[in-house]
Amino acid sequence: MAFIPNSREFQGSRSDTVAIDLGLRAYMLRVYNWMASGLALTGIVALLIVHSSALDYLYRPVATDYGTSYQITQLGYLAIFAPLGFVLLLRFGINRLSTAAAQAVFWIYCAVMGASLTSIFLVYTDSSIAQTFFITAGTFAGVSIYGYTTKRDLTKFGDFLFMAVLGLIIAMVANMFVRSQGMSLLISVVGVLVFTALTAFRTQQIKSNYLGFASSAAPDLAAKRSVLDALGLYLSFVNLFLMLLRLSGGRRG
């Protein structure tokens, strides 16, 4: 004898599924909005510094036989390494921070990141930076959509991607002393592949995590999680952009 579900139970289950789907879409939209707003703030801060005397506080121009080069100042070093502190604060202190505090830290991080990225305007042409940004945006959008829609489980690649990022960091630090063009090219190629895959992985992870706490009655939790999730996608975007810029960016003469 076939089992015929109660119509009310079936409708209730279906309405719950629809509610979760709508909630997930709204949550993902919130995450993308945070990420896009953060990128916009980063770009604005970088442009404001580059086109003002504030740049001299980060990079001191030095005349050489080959033209003008730039020497990084102590404040410049602070701008480069300060974002790491804010990332660690959000990663490990998110549960202790209020929603407003988490959002404030995110905005400060994005602004400081803008100061950190001013160096690319000293190395690459404005047109190549803009072109690479749009290429990155298109690549990121396509890969993120794949991560959201695919039925393939990408979580099994998490440990591998983490080790790959760690390996890239070690290789980049080592190349600061070796200064090998071949290694620099290899790092950029591998970096593009790693951060492209990481974008898909993080998108699916955000989706899975939401389904895990969707039944929670604490809206504050979702608000803080959206900031943290936006930070993860933001980092993937920025690093993918930098790797692509190193590969194809037009350098200033």
pLDDT at residue number 179: 85
Rounded Cα distance between 121 and 126, Å, is 7
Rounded Cα distance between 67 and 231, Å, is 38
How does pLDDT run across 4-33, given as a tens digit for each residue? 555 555 455 555 566 677 888 989 999 999
Question: Does the pLDDT at position 1 exceed 50?
Answer: no
Residue ranges per structural domain of the chain: 15-248
Q: What is the pTM of this model?
A: 0.88
| Lowest-pLDDT choice from 107-111, 122-126, 231-235 | 122-126
Which pairs from 22-27 meet CB under 8 Å and 24+ separation?
23/210, 23/214, 24/207, 24/210, 24/211, 24/214, 27/210, 27/222, 27/226
Task: Assign 224 to helix, strand or coil.
Answer: helix
Higher pLDDT, residue 71 or 109: 109
Question: Does the pLDDT at position 120 exceed 50?
Answer: yes
In this structure, which amino acid lies at residue 127? S
Greatest C-alpha distance within the chain: 92
In the numeric block, which tokens belong to residue 144? 């993120």
Higher pLDDT, residue 5 or 202: 202
